[in-house]
Amino acid sequence: MSQNDWPVLAYDKVRYYGDAVALVVAETLEAASEALALVDVTYEPLPVVDSPEAALAPDAPRVHERGNVLKEIHVQKGDVAAGLAQADLVVEETYRTPFGEHLFLEPEASVAVPEAMAG
């Protein structure tokens, strides 16, 4: 069963700083600016889940209602134990890379045209 992990608007809770919480539609930039000034959002701080290890902890706050694992894939190819036994050298360490946001190839934007004006 699929999980909607990135809705257009954060309808029940904001899960990260960039979640969209409102849409402003207007006929002019001035009207949009005025409407935008009327948007008032109150946030309730939630516990932070800031690493995969923290997300998998038994008592971790749930990012989504069904849990913190969106999808689990198991890949097994060959006999790992035999491969390690035959290796000349085995290096066991935990490596970390810095956080980096993926790059969108398109802007997050929309243009709405009411049906009465489209025709």
User: Where are the chain's structural domains?
Assistant: 1-92
What does the pLDDT average to over 91-95?
Answer: 93
Nearest to residue 12, comparing CAs of 71, 63, 47, 51? 63
Q: Quick one: how far is CA 12 from the chain centroid?
A: 14
Q: Using an 8 Å Cβ cutoff, are 15 and 61 in contact?
A: no
What does the block give as tokens for 89? 């050298």
pLDDT band at 111 (very low <50, low <70, confident <90, very high): confident
- The whole-number pLDDT of residue 112 equals 76
Q: What is the pTM of this model?
A: 0.54
3-state SS class at 32? helix
What does the pLDDT average to over 57-66?
Answer: 90
Looking at per-residue pLDDT, the higher value among 66 and 90 belongs to 90
Give residue for tokens 């923290």: 54
What does the block give as tokens for 118? 């489209």
